[in-house]
Amino acid sequence: MEKISESIVIEKKSKFYGYRYRIENIEEVSFIIEELKKEHKKARHICYAYKIGNLERKNEDKEPANTAGKPILDVINFNNLDNTLIVVVRYFGGTLLGRGLLTRTYSKTARELI
């Protein structure tokens, strides 16, 4: 596993930290997520998506359905990435963003990693 890039997007005081990794297997995904949970103990959500060959998975981590993991996975597929994990860590800024803005912000954070 190798960290390729990082990004940060701030939207209405919420902070979205993006991380892109090159991965070879699912075990690396679990390890990376656990490490990010330790590093970002006060984060509200740690959402991610990955693709390894034909295997694709997404995780919304309690965000509304298809507002976090799906837009991240869409960025992976749009850019024809493989063996890739993208994680976006969100710190809630006190203002609800709504489904549309939330989806756009997760997507933007993921795009900035490419």
Q: Hey, where are the domains in the chain? A: 2-111
**Mode of pairing for the β-strands spanning 14-22 and 2-11:** antiparallel
Q: 15-29, pLDDT tens digit by residue?
A: 999 999 999 999 999
pTM score, two decimals?
0.96
Q: DSSP letters along 36-84, please?
A: HHHHTTT-SEEEEEEEETTEEEEE-TTSSTTSSHHHHHHHHHHTT--SE
Q: 21-68, pLDDT tens digit by residue?
A: 999 999 999 999 999 999 999 999 999 999 999 999 999 999 999 999
Per the DSSP assignment, residues forming a β-bridge with 45 are 90
Vertex 80 angle, CA 76 and 86, to 5° = 25
Q: Which CATH class is domain 2-111?
A: alpha beta
3-state secondary structure of 1: coil
